[in-house]
Amino acid sequence: MPGPPPTALQPRKTPRQSRSRVTVEAIFEATIQVLLRGGMNELTTTRVAERAGVSVGTMYQYFPNKQALVYALNARYLDALAARIEATCREHAGAPLGQMVEALINTYWTAKTERADVTRALYRSVAELNNDVLIHAFAERVDRATTEMLASACDAVFPDVPRANLALVTVIYGTVRNAFERGVSDQEAAALRQDLTTMCRAYLANFRA
């Protein structure tokens, strides 16, 4: 049961005028760029500010420290990802299991690969954070959506929905991530994705009504 994010990691103040919204946006984008080039080791406040075209002081007006910046960036990313998954789940409420699996894998896979380098950079950056809160919040939110979807399947009845859900999402998210880390080729990725779908379908077949 994760509490709220540590106060030391919360944003300092939220931009009110449009110019500052642009600034914050630039800072986020710059952070990604720096992360892409040199990873966490070379992510310095000066470098980010420089790349964003603002001064260090400006950065510190919105983020109390460096960690908070990376934290916010990841929170932002996960929020968008969760929203996409939720949308997929809504769209497939009441559908047959097969379609659900395919849709879920498709959404997740696409979200991760459409900007593969960014995904990788974030995967790495989040590793040095106190990411438990982030991860849990994300997991909880997304679990709610997928569980609900599964329970609504028109051609299945689950003796234990949360269990089936956990198996599904863990396998899917884990596989995608591992595929990333291995740096599989496009060909391999395509085959892998197909096989992953096969596996999930075969698993869910056990619950056919």
Partner DNA sequence: CCAAAACCTGAAGCCTTCCTCATATTCTGA
Partner DNA sequence: TCAGAATATGAGGAAGGCTTCAGGTTTTGG
List of residues contacting DNA (CB under 7 A): 13, 15-20, 22-23, 42-47, 53-58, 60-61, 64-66
- Of 84 and 201, which has the nearer Cβ to a second copy? 201
Q: Chain centroid to CA 158: how far?
A: 27
Rounded to a whole number of angstroms, the minimum distance from the CB of residue 189 to DNA is 34
- Contact assessment for residue 119 and residue 112, using Cβ atoms and an 8 Å cutoff: yes
Q: Is the dihedral of CA 81, 135, 112, 73 positive or negative?
A: positive
Closest of 117, 128, 122 to residue 9, by C-alpha = 128
Tokens of 180: 């990333």
Name residues contacting a second copy, limited to 18-47 (CB under 8 A). Answer: 39-41
* 144/52 Cα distance (integer angstroms): 37
Name the minimum Å distance from CB 13 to DNA: 6
- Segment 82-121, which members bind a second copy (CB under 8 A)? none
Q: What are phi and psi of 156, to 5 degrees?
A: -150, 155
Min dist. Cβ of residue 29 to a second copy (A) = 22
Compute the least distance from the CB of residue 15 to a second copy, in Å. Answer: 28
Q: Does position 1 bind a second copy by CB under 8 A?
A: no
Find the part of the chain contacting a second copy (CB under 8 A) among 53-61, 70-78, 80-88, 124-132: 124-132
Specify the residue, 19 or 159, whose C-beta has the smaller distance to DNA.
19
141 binds a second copy (CB under 8 A): no
Query: Which residues, 6 or more positions from 150, have their beta carbon under 8 angstroms from its beta carbon?
Result: 97, 100, 156, 158, 161, 164, 165, 168
Beta bridge partners of 208: 156
- Residues near a second copy, by CB under 8 A: 39-41, 123-124, 127-128, 132, 135-136, 139, 163-164, 166-167, 170-171, 173-179, 181-184, 188, 191-192, 195-196, 198-200, 202-203, 205-206
